[in-house]
Structure 1
Amino acid sequence: MKKKILTMVFMLAAGLSVNAQKKMGLRLLATHIIGASGGWDYLTIDEKNNNLFVSHGSQVNVLNKSTGDSVGVIHNTPGVHGIAIVNALGKGYITNGKSATCTVFDLKNLTVRSQINVGENPDAIFYDDYSKKVFVFNGKSHDATVIDPQTDKVVATISLGGKPEAGVSDGKGKIYVNIEDINEIVCFNSKTFKITTRYKLTGGEEPSGLAIDRATSRLFTVCSNKVMLVLDAKTGKHIAKLPIGDGADGVVFDAATKLAYASNGEGTITVVREVSADKFVVEKTVKSEPGARTVVLDKLTHHLFLPTANFEKSAVEGQRPKMISGTFKVLEFGK
């Protein structure tokens, strides 16, 4: 009888603990200080090697994503924007906006293998697990460079008709990319490299971050006029228009929890729940820090990582605040 009572007490305590964690919600778990000066853009996670890659000035800082400890630095990446991971080949790719090149590096020892010439001002980049190609989106030349990671050769250049931002794959042969200056999402075939459709973003201005729910074929795009648009990837139909914070430049979707997170440069994270394929609601707004405008999701822990720094108070209203040297950091959020 006594053993039975103790078991019941333990189960009750465990239940209360789980409920308490659920109620606690998304919160800041850790701040990983990197220091030094320079701007930043995208982050990428290498799940296989447990590393977090952070673009920073003219280099990429590599952290152990579990501890935040420095693993190494990849130097000489002028105007760095994005990082793509190809675990099957043990390689990574970095876009260098100022040199119109893509750096190829070794995932194990972080040494540079080669440089690939791409379009002008290469920005976002990702590896498509379906076509087995690396796609680089070039902001100034308004096109996408396609790299075969088997050979590290450019196999195609796709004219996009505008300034591309982030891109995603549906895992079935279609690539979607935001076109910032004409408020569109362009879709092209990942094997023929031909554009198939263009979706006009009604009510959305200057789209930047883009995410996808492959299970429901829903696209999430964040726009400069403080809205997230949800579209049907197959038809372009607008499903939802949701309010987010100012200065969003990134969005991620967690397929396991059905939550989308918009990282807003004003210093907030907008959490959107996918109730069903046709119903989306803003669940909450979580405080982050000013400047934390890009984000990456750790699919294993469901944690979010956002880079930012501390800033001086601007003497002129509306003027962009100056970063305080040595304060660059990565914020880690989770439950």
Structure 2
Amino acid sequence: MRKIAALVGLMLTTAAPGFTGRAVAQTLERVAETPLPDYARGFNILDADEKRGHLFMATAHNGAVLVFDLKSGALLKTLHDVTDPHMLAYIKSRDEIWASDAKGSCVTVLSAADYHLLRKIPLTTSPTVGFYDAAKEVFYIQEAGMNSGMPTSIIDVIPAGATSPTLQITIDDKNLEGMVVDHRRNRLYVNMRDHRQIAAVDLATGKVVETWTIAGMGKNTPMAIDEAGGRLFVAAREPAKLFAIDLKTGRATFETDIMSTPDALTWDPASKRLFLSGLEGIAVFSGRMRDRLDLVSQTVDPGVKHSLLLPGGDLLYAAAAKTETTPAALHIYRVARP
């Protein structure tokens, strides 16, 4: 059931402790909410088929991919062909939905037109976290590692249309979280959580060419990239901090305290803003100044996990897990542009 909601957020008039700058205006206004009483947690990834106006949500441990109306947030369909989806992407040129299946040890490919099963791409072990490069239509997915009881991880590189990985990247860490591609430098950056490091992978060779250690960074989880500005943004959980890292040197140029349990980061090149979602809500930073990030607003939204801001869009979608006081839900926010 969809219900229109008034703004449910915390309006900041001054920056919270640990943040740089002044929150000048509320950036997000919640405009819709779809309760999901049959689900409690496991919301991992969101993606969208803008042509049909559909939003897809992977629900790990719940054995389903949920399909919503992109405008209203109404739940349209539940897809059960994927038993344990952790990573999901809409492949525009092929009109397909790709979802990793940890229990099935494969990537399941569905038709975005009618959702029938097209094929399965077999993998060796249980796939979990990943990244989809929409510009080049390449699917990156981790297997081996912690979920498979192995000390190292493998990242499978699967271009759209491929029937098996065309490249496998070995990472000397069993606990990976967060990946982004740097097209200008032809690199993949990966969070190595057990080592408290970031791996820089040369995509031409599939080899790790640098590892960066950032002081004070623990359980580094989501990341985002400002390719034009040469910056990598990484949010850590222990302690809860946000870092800006120079891509030339691998050194942190800025850090600040943030809300607990950050889960997703999105850099919007048009507005030069960074959107951070985590267990306590959503924070928005301005990144117009290269040497710092300024807090613009922070909205309380308990249980928030992954979020999605469509390129150039005015809406942000957030998946919220069940808490003691609120049900699991999809929340839609209108974004006020600067």
On the 8 A contact 1:254/1:302 being kept in 2, the answer is: no
> Is residue 84 of structure 2 the alignment partner of residue 72 of structure 1?
no
On the 8 A contact 1:100/1:120 being kept in 2, the answer is: yes
Residue number among 91, 94, 107 corresponding to 2:112 in the alignment: 107
Q: Which AA in structure 1 matches 2:274?
A: A
TM-superposition CA deviations, 1:285-307 (whole Å, max 9, x none): 2111x210221112232322111
Separation in structure 2 between the aligned mates of residue 133 and residue 295 of structure 1, nearest angstrom: 21
> Is residue 320 of structure 2 the alignment partner of residue 308 of structure 1?
yes
SS of residue in 2 equivalent to 1:152: coil
Which residue of structure 2 lines up, in the alignment, with residue 16 of structure 1?
Answer: none
Which residue of structure 2 lines up, in the alignment, with residue 19 of structure 1?
Answer: none
Per-residue deviation, 1:132:
4.2
> Is residue 216 of structure 2 the alignment partner of residue 214 of structure 1?
no
Separation in structure 1 between the aligned mates of residue 89 and residue 117 of structure 2, nearest angstrom: 14
Q: Which AA in structure 1 matches 2:95?
A: G
Per-residue deviation, 1:208:
0.9
Which structure shows the bigger proportion of residues in helix conformation? 1
Total equivalences in the alignment:
300
Q: Which AA in structure 2 matches 1:55?
A: A
| TM-score between the two structures when normalised by the length of structure 2 | 0.82
Per-residue deviation, 1:210:
0.9
Map 1:244-283 → 2, pairs under 5 A: 244-265=258-279, 267-283=280-296
SS of residue in 2 equivalent to 1:293: strand
Which residue of structure 2 lines up, in the alignment, with residue 166 of structure 1?
Answer: 178
User: What is the CA RMSD across the aligned residues, in angstroms?
Assistant: 2.1
Per-residue deviation, 1:245:
0.3
Residue number among 24, 29, 32 corresponding to 1:30 in the alignment: 32
Separation in structure 2 between the aligned mates of residue 143 and residue 35 of structure 1, nearest angstrom: 35
Q: Which AA in structure 2 matches 1:330?
A: L
Residue number among 244, 247, 258 corresponding to 1:230 in the alignment: 244
On the 8 A contact 1:43/1:53 being kept in 2, the answer is: yes
On the 8 A contact 2:132/2:138 being kept in 1, the answer is: yes
Which residue of structure 1 lines up, in the alignment, with residue 168 of structure 2?
Answer: 157
Per-residue deviation, 1:311:
2.9
On the 8 A contact 1:186/1:198 being kept in 2, the answer is: yes
* Percent identity over paired residues: 21
Per-residue deviation, 1:81:
1.3
Aligned CA distance change for structure 1 residues 171 and 107 (closer, same or farther; 3 Å): farther
SS of residue in 2 equivalent to 1:88: helix
Q: Which AA in structure 1 matches 2:331?
A: L
Separation in structure 2 between the aligned mates of residue 277 and residue 157 of structure 1, nearest angstrom: 34
TM-superposition CA deviations, 1:141-160 (whole Å, max 9, x none): 51201113223212222111
Moved >4 Å (runs of 4+): 129-132
TM-superposition CA deviations, 1:108-130 (whole Å, max 9, x none): 22222122223544222233256
Separation in structure 2 between the aligned mates of residue 194 and residue 91 of structure 1, nearest angstrom: 29
Separation in structure 2 between the aligned mates of residue 284 and residue 243 of structure 1, nearest angstrom: 14
Per-residue deviation, 1:274:
0.5
